Amino acid sequence: MTSRQGGCHCGRIRYRIEGEPFDADYCHCLDCQKTTGAPVAAWMDFNAAQVHWLGEMPAEYASSASIRRGFCSNCGCSISYRSTAYPDFLTLSICTLDEPSKSDGDNGNEIAPKYHIHTASRRPWLEIADELPRYAAARNPASKS
């Protein structure tokens, strides 16, 4: 089984993930822009049981009634996203992996986003140069842009 590790910038928060994510995306929503300080966030989705915290867990901020955004209280690194409506799932920032560009030795797969969501909120100066599917809002075939 594939195992990867990652953590925040200062190293206070560390995690290990077992297996592959069931999904990954680029999010252009205004909340991700504001909380990451970047025009787009790259996320990977796991069953919560695949994620093992190796010490301190992220502090959380309730960005809405059901969304919790995890971050390091020391360095401020945006590290996780979860919905209280789906307690069995946990989303982690791809770029918090120790080696985000390293392929998995077992199957050669690098974790990379498969589509863009919330493109209606994309910064106009950010050109999307790939051919991945795009959704104006949340991922829903009817919202493709």
> pLDDT digits over 46-92, tens only?
999 999 999 899 999 999 999 999 999 999 999 999 999 999 999 99
> pLDDT digits over 129-138, tens only?
999 999 999 9
Q: How far apart are CA 16 and CA 7, in angstroms?
A: 9
Amino acid letter for position 39: P
Query: What domain range includes position 125?
Result: 3-143
Q: pTM for this one?
A: 0.91
What is residue 20's predicted lDDT score, i.e. its pLDDT? 95
Find residue 97's DSSP bridge partners: 6
CATH number at residue 15: 2.170.150.70
For residue 126, the Cα-to-chain-centroid distance in whole angstroms is 19
Mean pLDDT of 35-41: 96
What DSSP designation does 34 have?
A: H
**Both tokens assigned to 48:** 């919560």
Domain count, the chain: 1
Give one word for 124, left, alpha or beta, with left for phi > 0 and alpha for psi -120 to 50.
alpha
Computed over every residue of the chain, the mean pLDDT equals 92
